[in-house]
Amino acid sequence: MTTTVYPETPAAPMPEQWAGLRRAPRGIRPALGSPIVSRLFRNAVSRLPVRVDLPHGRALGAGANDPAAPVMVLHDPRAFTARIAATGLIGFGEGYMAGDWSAPDPAAVLTVFAGAIDRLVPAPLQSLRSALLPSQPRAHRATASGAETNAAHHYDLSNELFALFLDETMTYSSALFDRLEPAPAWRDLADAQRRKIDTLLDDAEVGPGTRMLEIGTGWGELAIRAAERGAIVRSVTLSAEQQRLARERVAAAGVAERVSIELLDYRAVDGVYDAVVSVEMMEAVGFEYLPEYLRTLTRVLAPGGRVAVQVITMPHERMLAGRRTHTWIQKYIFPGGFLPSETLLAQQLSEHSGLVATHRRALGAHYAHTLRLWRERFDGATTGVEQLGFDETFQRMWRLYLAYSEAGFRSGYLDVVQLVLEHREDTAADLGAAVAR
């Protein structure tokens, strides 16, 4: 079905956000670290199939003479290395935002780097990561108030901004295509998003009369499709902008009597539900609150019910290495964000919940194509983005975010999985006894 996106006044970024990017960082660390970063970078790209174009016609990289190699252009090598020396990969991303470097296809360049992430920095220096790089700000912790602020930072930017690059379903998570070869096109995306949603609803056994809880509303497509099956849907979100448009879309679909959408933290949800569905919301919970999230799922799931979740994951060792450091994505895109490993999820489910995973489906390659299509759509929407009040620095930031994410899935560094969770036998017995009483 096609729904209307209603106009709004966007919350455009304030210019002072970018004040720190106008010049390269100064101080002891950039001064002493820049030569080291320069040497490490040159050594790294000398082993990678990439071409790095420098000023005055010089080129670096194992792909310097390969016309098919992805191209990275260093416009200001000194600023580029100073930023990295100061803040690591935050500086790498800020360098792109500031124009220190660019690429005709940033996703292709970043895919090469992501595929070699464990070899880019020598092992002795990797052990110093936590000491040298910034820590996550306490203000980004996903407490009840912090989670609301974190959500507003991203999802309350502007519904119209998201509508410029999302398909008609306004679905902001990995699609599930019916094929990956030949590469999916834009015309395939809306159907692929509906396929993903219907697969999750099938996994959760959502049908007529099902009492369903959705944690993380998005813009309402999943709630609409569940209600069209005859379910009674309670959906909770922390984004006021998403809630507003989702309610309008629910009303336009004619299912408002079966769907309620509330501004509510997942920890405050009460009641018991036959099915719980949560799509790419777990990433916002944060490492320290993951046990509480899983305990909430256990608490609200009725005996015999099912949870269907979709979550982005990363390798366990990489997760452990970067769990306490602050990243570019966290600083600019998803404050408080945390990607678990499947190993961690299994441990946390066992230790902090009464749930067990009974089914798994991996969609990593599907997410790479989803992000490619979003990025291509965003790249073609420059005029619309400008009209909404988002400046050139914001646009470079957003392009890097989409390319950075695409590269993670394209390289296999990231994955996204759908899991079905059910009560363990011992938990189910206890719940059954409690209900009987």
Class of the CATH domain delimited by 138-436 = alpha beta
Q: How many other CB atoms are found less than 10 A from the CB of residue 136?
A: 20
Residue 297 CA, distance from chain mean position = 21
Four-point Cα dihedral 321, 327, 333, 337, nearest 10:
30
Query: Distance between CA atoms of 242 and 93, rounded to whole angstroms?
Result: 28
Query: Distance between CA atoms of 232 and 229, rounded to whole angstroms?
Result: 9
3-state SS, residue 106: helix
Q: Angle at Cα 266 formed by Cα 261 and Cα 269, nearest 5°?
A: 75
Residue 85 CA, distance from chain mean position = 26
CB under 8 Å to 248, separation ≥6 — which residues? 4, 6
Tens digits of pLDDT across the chain (437 residues)? 444 444 444 444 545 667 778 777 888 888 888 999 999 999 999 999 999 999 989 999 999 999 999 999 999 999 999 999 998 889 999 999 999 999 999 999 999 999 887 777 666 556 555 555 677 788 888 998 899 999 999 999 999 999 999 999 999 999 999 999 999 999 999 999 999 999 999 999 999 999 999 999 999 999 999 999 999 999 999 999 999 999 999 999 999 999 999 999 999 999 999 999 999 999 999 999 999 999 999 999 999 999 999 999 999 999 998 888 889 999 999 999 999 999 999 999 999 999 999 999 999 999 999 999 999 999 999 999 999 999 999 999 999 999 999 999 999 999 999 999 999 987 655 555 544 44
- In the chain, CATH 3.40.50.150 sits at 138-436
3-state SS, residue 187: helix
